[in-house]
Amino acid sequence: MKVYIYDTTLRDGAQAFGVNFSVEDKLRILEKLDEFGIDYVEGGWPSSNPKDNVFFSRAKELKLKHTKLTAFGSTRRAGISVDKDPFVEALLKAGTSVITIFGKSWDLHVTHALRTSLEENLNMIRETLSFLRKDVEELIFDAEHFFDGFKRNKEYALKVLESALEGGADWIVLCDTNGGTLPHEVSEIVSEVREKFPEAKIGVHMHNDSETAVANSIMGVLAGATQVHGTINGIGERVGNANLCSIIPNLQIKMGYEVVPEDSMRRLTELAMFVAELSNMSLPRNMPYVGESAFAHKGGVHASAVLRHSETYEHINPELVGNQRRITVSDLSGRSNVIYKLKEFGISVDEKSPEVIKLVEKIKEMESEGYHFETAEASLELLCKKHFGLLKNYFELDAYRVLIAKRSMDEKPVSEATVRLFINEVNEHTAALDSGPVSALDKALKKALVEFYPNLKEVQLLDYKVRIVNESAGTSARVRVLIECTDGRKKWSTIGVSDNIIEASWIALTDSLIYKLMKDEEEIASSG
């Protein structure tokens, strides 16, 4: 059985706090959703803002293979003839084959928000859909606040749906606009709508204010809905919309519905990361199916079991959604975790070797001191390769010094970092200035190394985080520094721990550069 996916990332998702898609962003996401096999993509609300008008104009140039681009808008305004309403006219000018109209289905909203009569609201819905019917291939009606309206005035909520069908709606979509409905209520209400309108095509549109949007969507399908609305990664106004990255695999992998092309499912994680990047909202690590931790195993018992038989602690094969299993290493890890990581790093050792046990103990000891290798796998790989004598000595520290000078109360402090290194038996001595001590140290370190290792020019610092490890120690507390770097092709994270923030930063910075040098050499060796 086919369930149609209606994506509203570009409209409802764009209303999320902190999200501001450019026209280019919207076009790229539209193409990605089409490539993935999403049935409907709601592009925005024509005439609501200049950006959406430009988007719909440029979207006409795209050759979409699967997706039906949809324009979204309201019924005509109260007391105005539908052919005189400029917002309705703008929907037709968008030139889409599908139009979605929303209308009020909760009597409270009709009388208090629209400030019109219940009968006029029904006329607005019927007349708007009838007016549009002749000019578009498909009409979708979003019954806004339907579940709240149904619970308070069932008779009127059902009249709203009846008016929409009389106006020519192909789909009636039941919206939980406030996100307060629970799964058992969705099941009961959708079933009743199905019984009332047995020939109608029903959809559901859920918000996540009660953290039940995904469950509500699934219950809606089980009760007879065949269209599901949502957004990629669940972004949206307030706490967000139903998350399509969970709904799609739940319906297709777990329940056997036909949702997207079979080969698309393996690109689900890629799609989630793509939208996260363009929306400038980090993909939560613990997001089901597509998050970095969705198939991560930290406990030694879990890791040991899952390596023997993945079903022991994984509900699906991560490759089905384009994700991957991660065995992390921490103070909770056993030998199985470490052996898995060694294989991942390309280190071949006897699993019963005493050196493996020593490495496990070393990692646990460092974790107890404040290291956190789950979030800094680059440092972990360096540690493992150094432990087995597989890490080249790219440079040696002779000394470093950081000075902070402030000449007056009005001036900002200036930091000067001096670094002395031995590189291929050459003593290199450099200095650099910057506003902060860590950035000055980073500059001086790179300045010393780039003459010998020009590829380090590619490295850029993306993120720098500091956390107190033992908070009760006050100003004498140990600090953990985590940095993320990129060379434009890949990203990696390294870590340093010390009771001196400069020293912790130095450890993380040097690890980052050494990791870059090591990986570039390995890449050259493997291609040669």
Judge if pTM exceeds 0.85: no
pLDDT of residue 33: 98
Task: Supply the mean pLDDT for the chain.
Answer: 91
Q: Where are the domains of the chain?
A: 4-279, 296-367, 396-527
Phi, psi dihedrals of residue 35, rounded to the nearest 5°: -60, -35
Q: Convert the pLDDT of each residue in 166-198 to its tens digit.
A: 999 999 999 999 999 999 999 999 999 999 999
Query: CB burial class (10 A; 0-12, 13-18, 19+) of residue 36?
Result: buried
H or E element, residue 369: helix 354-369
Domain spanning 4-279, CATH class: alpha beta
pLDDT of residue 328: 61
pLDDT of residue 528: 64
Below-70 pLDDT ranges, the chain? 297-311, 313, 327-334, 470-476, 528
pLDDT of residue 195: 97
Strands 479-486, 414-423: pairing kind: unpaired
- If you write DSSP's letter for every residue of 461-489 in order, what string do you get? EEEEEEEESSGGGGGG--EEEEEEEE-SS
Q: Convert the pLDDT of each residue in 477-526 to its tens digit.
A: 789 999 999 999 888 999 999 999 999 999 999 999 999 999 999 998 88
pLDDT of residue 373: 82
pLDDT of residue 487: 92
Q: Are 186 and 204 in contact (CB under 8 A)?
A: yes
Q: Which residues partner with 405 through β-bridges?
A: 414
H or E element, residue 402: strand 396-405
Query: CB burial class (10 A; 0-12, 13-18, 19+) of residue 472?
Result: exposed
pLDDT of residue 369: 87
Percentage of the chain modeled with pLDDT above 90: 72
The DSSP letter of residue 237 is S
pLDDT of residue 309: 60
Domain spanning 396-527: which superfamily? Alpha-isopropylmalate synthase LeuA, regulatory domain (3.30.160.270)
pLDDT of residue 329: 63
Look at residues 301, 325, 327 and name the one whose alpha carbon lies nearest to residue 315: 325
Phi, psi dihedrals of residue 479, rounded to the nearest 5°: -120, 150
- If you write DSSP's letter for every residue of 87-126 in order, what string do you get? HHHHHHHTT-SEEEEEEE-SHHHIIIII-S-HHHHHHHHH
Q: Convert the pLDDT of each residue in 423-432 to its tens digit.
A: 988 999 999 9
